[in-house]
């Protein structure tokens, strides 16, 4: 009997602190909620932080602390809310709070993503009304600014500017393969019309390169684009684009293109979008001293394009795509069929850094044998690249990049490899 009494008293001594700790946790949570509802965010933060010392991974305490930080406009609210989302991915309130966090900082694109995620989760009527209201306000804010400017400039080293064969001689008149070049790009975009269901936009882009020695390969591009988008349903949207592109090489006209591209895009699951697009391009090549038979490539290209984007986590976004192309040229030796695949991942790192990795693969088979060759040309191309961007501010970023391309052909004159190293500064307004 004495032994049983000793055992019982021991168990009571052990369990009493545990019950007291749990009771303290509940009291802290209750006091924190009362302080939060009364507008005392500072007291609420203290209570929730103390509660988290008892239960560091409690999702409710983590969420309420994040909400208290958000109410106080504390910059730490962003990381706290994302931590809460990792602990409880299906919580509707977290998406609403993240949306309001970015909205209050006028980061409307990011805010819209979270409000749309919330609506896709089919929340209760109160949260749906709040999300719809914020999205309407975002559209109103966005419609206020009807134009924008982007600019980029930098330096690149290209190991194979003329795309010369690895084992063959250089083309006539070309003194070297590798060269340093500067480049500049400016883009203008504007909104002609926009409401809650549709928008009509236009853009113009100018791109120029300047090589240190191989000036005959200086590239000038002028690109005009008009796009109409319409929201068909909350999950589906359609668009059609038309553009004109003019390319000069070494200051001489190389190619003019006209294209039209209708497409459908859907967001059928949370943080996931997929699209299908058809593009028809008419190309008109110009003969030059360097390319005397360039016009043999004149013709029409038909392309079917599939795209998919998915947010894997708060810091990782993945993308993949497939394109089938059918080129119908004036001369059959330039007509071809191609399969192109692409994949990429973007990772948000600390200190405003973004790492982007891409991999592209393509196979192209030509219809007929070119003059002087024994068989129709067939190429397989593989390109890998990576870039690291420091986003110094919302409007200014600096990027370092590297890409490597290997082209294997059944005709040795088209076997080549190429690497490009670049440093770029980008800005937008």
Q: Which two tokens stand for residue 52?
A: 């988290």
**DSSP sequence for 70-87:** HHTT-TTHHHHHHHHHHH
Give the pLDDT score at 13.
Answer: 44
Whether domain 148-428 has CATH 2.40.160.40? yes
CA 112 – CA 73 distance, rounded (Å):
19
* H or E stretch at 37: helix 2-37
Give the pLDDT score at 6.
Answer: 38
Domain with CATH 1.25.40.10 in the chain: 2-142
Q: Which fold has domain 2-142?
A: 1.25.40
Give the pLDDT score at 184.
Answer: 97
Summarised one tens digit per residue, pLDDT across range 351-402 is 889 999 999 999 999 999 998 888 999 999 999 999 999 988 878 999 999 9
CA 133 – CA 115 distance, rounded (Å):
10
Domain with CATH 2.40.160.40 in the chain: 148-428
| Residue whose pair of structure tokens reads 């190619």 in the numeric block | 255
Please report the beta strands in 290-377, taking only residues with DSSP state E, as ranges in sequence order.
299-311, 316-329, 336-349, 353-366
Angle at alpha carbon of residue 256, lines to 253 and 257, rounded to 5°: 160
Task: Classify residue 90 by its DSSP letter.
Answer: T
Summarised one tens digit per residue, pLDDT across range 78-98 is 888 888 888 787 788 888 888
CA 272 – CA 228 distance, rounded (Å):
22
CA 415 – CA 322 distance, rounded (Å):
24
pLDDT in 10s for each residue of the chain, 429 residues: 434 433 334 434 444 444 446 677 888 888 878 877 787 878 888 888 888 888 787 878 888 888 888 888 777 888 888 888 887 877 888 888 888 888 888 777 778 888 888 888 888 888 888 888 888 888 776 555 678 899 999 999 999 999 888 877 777 778 788 999 999 999 999 989 877 678 899 999 999 999 999 999 999 999 999 999 998 887 889 999 999 999 999 999 999 999 999 999 998 776 789 999 999 999 999 998 888 999 999 999 999 999 999 988 878 999 999 999 999 999 999 999 999 999 999 999 988 899 999 999 999 999 999 988 889 999 999 999 999 999 888 789 999 999 999 999 999 889 999 999 999 999 988
What is the value of pTM for the model shown? 0.70
Helices marked H in 41-124 — which ranges? 41-54, 59-71, 77-87, 92-104, 108-120
Give the pLDDT score at 145.
Answer: 64
Task: Classify residue 94 by its DSSP letter.
Answer: H
- Percent helix, strand and coil across the chain, each to the nearest 5: 30, 45, 25
φ/ψ of residue 105, rounded to 5: -100, 10
CA 183 – CA 345 distance, rounded (Å):
26
Q: Do β-strands 252-269 and 272-285 pair in parallel, antiparallel, or remain unpaired?
A: antiparallel
| Residue whose pair of structure tokens reads 């795209």 in the numeric block | 307
Give the pLDDT score at 4.
Answer: 44
Give the pLDDT score at 48.
Answer: 82
Give the pLDDT score at 42.
Answer: 82
Q: Which two tokens stand for residue 396?
A: 């200014």
Give the pLDDT score at 142.
Answer: 59
Give the pLDDT score at 21.
Answer: 64
């Amino acid at each position: 009997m004495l032994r049983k009494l000793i055992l019982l008293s021991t168990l009571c001594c052990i369990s009493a602190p545990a019950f007291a700790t749990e009771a303290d946790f509940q009291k802290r949570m209750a006091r924190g909620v009362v302080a939060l509802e009364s507008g005392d965010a500072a007291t609420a933060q203290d209570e929730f932080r103390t509660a988290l010392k008892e239960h560091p991974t409690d999702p409710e305490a983590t969420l309420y602390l994040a909400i208290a930080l958000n109410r106080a406009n504390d910059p730490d609210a962003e990381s706290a809310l994302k931590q809460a989302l990792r602990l409880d991915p299906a919580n509707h309130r977290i998406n609403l709070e993240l949306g309001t966090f970015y909205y209050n900082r006028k980061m409307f694109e990011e805010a819209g993503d979270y409000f749309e995620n919330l609506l896709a989760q089919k929340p209760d009527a109160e949260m749906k009304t709040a999300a719809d209201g914020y999205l309407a306000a975002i559209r109103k804010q966005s419609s206020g600014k009807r134009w924008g400017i982007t600019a980029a400039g930098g330096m690149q080293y290209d190991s194979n500017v003329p795309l010369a064969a690895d084992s063959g001689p250089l083309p006539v008149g070309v003194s070297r393969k590798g060269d340093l070049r500067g480049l500049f790009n400016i883009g203008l975009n504007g909104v002609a019309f926009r409401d809650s269901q549709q928008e009509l936009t236009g853009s113009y882009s100018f791109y120029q390169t300047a090589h240190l020695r191989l000036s005959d390969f200086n590239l000038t591009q002028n690109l005009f684009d008009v796009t109409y988008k319409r929201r068909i349903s909350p999950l589906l949207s359609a668009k059609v684009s038309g553009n004109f592109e003019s390319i000069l090489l070494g200051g001489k006209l190389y190619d003019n293109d006209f294209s039209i591209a209708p497409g459908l895009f859907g967001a059928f699951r949370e943080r996931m979008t997929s699209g299908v697009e058809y593009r028809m391009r008419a190309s008109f090549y110009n003969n030059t001293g360097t390319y005397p038979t360039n016009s043999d490539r004149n013709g029409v290209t038909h392309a079917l394009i599939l795209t998919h984007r998915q947010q894997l986590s708060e810091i990782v976004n993945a993308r993949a795509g497939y394109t089938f192309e059918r080129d119908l040229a004036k001369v059959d030796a330039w007509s071809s069929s191609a399969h192109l695949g692409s994949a990429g991942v973007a990772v948000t790192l600390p200190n405003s850094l973004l790492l982007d990795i891409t991999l592209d693969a393509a196979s192209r088979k030509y219809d007929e044998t070119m003059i002087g060759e024994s068989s129709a040309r067939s190429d397989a191309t593989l390109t890998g690249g990576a870039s690291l961007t420091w986003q110094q501010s919302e409007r200014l970023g600096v990027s370092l990049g590297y890409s490597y391309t290997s082209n294997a052909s059944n005709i040795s004159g088209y076997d080549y490899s190429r690497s490009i190293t670049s440093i770029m500064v980008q800005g937008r307004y």
